[in-house]
Amino acid sequence: MADTQVQAGLDIPFAGRELLRSLAENWWLLLLRGVAAIIFGMLAFFWPGITLLSLTLLWEAYAFADGIFALWAAISGRGAAETSTRWWLAATGIVSVLAAFVAFFWPGMTTVVLLMFIASWAIIIGVLQIWGAIEMGKEAQGEWLFALYGVLWIAFGVVMFAQPGAGALALVWMIGWFAILSGCMSIALAFRLRTYKQPA
């Protein structure tokens, strides 16, 4: 009976489901966020002799791109009422873009400072993603992937905080693995959203 109700909910127009409709229409933006994360992670792994400055610049580019994609997904829509349901996504984009600018204007930060900075950024993003999962849960059932995505970000931030003495190489490996894992999950979320997209 419950499955029938869920299926029926997917077949009717998106009345009262502005967030789900908007994200489904822009599922490809989440796909781009995932692709950007995977590219960043692979560059971190396969850039021989990467320096702290190079890693910082690479992370700045990734954070900025991720923020722009998030902001784009937040502001694209059909009306102010829909935009108001996506404030958490806009906040995610703003945090990422601001973090990229701060890192850009502070190029001489040490490994420990960079680690703490990225850890703080990851935890904030994770909290916002979980909040977004709660908002999504009001409009669709079974969206546990969104919450898991946020938990992944928070776990990464906590691990980074727990390793304040990590060297540059260890930092590169941690960031690289996380970027690839989060990118894969972002792509999975994108295709999950695509299933909710209304036919043209």
pTM: 0.75
Residue with the two structure tokens 């546990």? 144
Q: Are 166 and 180 in contact (CB under 8 A)?
A: no
Establish if 61 belongs to a structural domain: yes
How open is the CA angle 15-190-196, to the nearest 5 degrees?
A: 30
Residue 126 tokens, joined = 């994770």
Secondary structure (3-state) at 165: coil
Secondary structure (3-state) at 184: helix
pLDDT of residue 155: 92
**Phi, psi of 168, deg, nearest 5:** -60, -40
Establish if 200 belongs to a structural domain: no
- Here the CATH number for the domain that contains residue 149 is 1.25.40
Establish if 1 belongs to a structural domain: no
Establish if 149 belongs to a structural domain: yes
Establish if 126 belongs to a structural domain: yes
Establish if 162 belongs to a structural domain: yes
Q: How many domains does the chain have?
A: 1
For residue 51, the enclosing domain spans: 15-194
Low-confidence ranges of the chain (pLDDT < 50): 1-16, 79-81
Contacts made by residues 108-111, CB under 8 angstroms, sequence distance 24+: 109/56, 110/52, 111/52, 111/166, 111/167, 111/168, 111/171
Establish if 58 belongs to a structural domain: yes
Establish if 5 belongs to a structural domain: no
Phi-psi region of 132 (alpha: psi -120 to 50; beta: other; left: phi over 0): alpha
pLDDT of residue 6: 39
Residue 172 and residue 43: Cα distance in Å, rounded?
10
DSSP 143: -
pLDDT of residue 193: 81
pLDDT digits (tens, 9 = 90+) for 11-33: 434 334 566 677 777 788 889 88
Of residues 126, 17, 131, 35, the one with CA closest to residue 78: 17
